[in-house]
Amino acid sequence: MTPLSYCLLVTGPAYGTQRAGSALLFAQHVIAAGHRIQCVFFYREGVSNANVLTSPAGDETDMVRQW
């Protein structure tokens, strides 16, 4: 099977909803299946996933580092 290339659009914030977590999980499964992520575009509230100044609560996953 020929590997596929994916581009992701992440619109959910790093915390408060499941959207960013679901996108991250999808990306991990795409890579595990032998495909590739060509680009990730963080849009609107999704830009918080790329903000290195974000400091999560001690009991939460650090979504910024996960990406």
Residue range 2-61, pLDDT digits in tens: 999 999 999 999 998 999 999 999 999 999 999 999 999 999 999 999 999 988 888 888
Q: Which pLDDT score, from 0 to 100, does residue 35 have?
A: 98
Pick the CATH number of 5-66 from 3.40.50.620, 3.20.20.80, 3.40.50.2300, 3.40.1260.10: 3.40.1260.10
Going from N- to C-terminal start, the domains of the chain cover: 5-66
Q: Which helix (H) or strand (E) holds 21?
A: helix 19-32
pTM given for the model: 0.85
- Cα–Cα distance measured from residue 48 to residue 4, given in angstroms and rounded to the nearest whole number: 27
Cβ atoms within 10 Å, residue 1: 6
Which two tokens mark 27? 């990306």
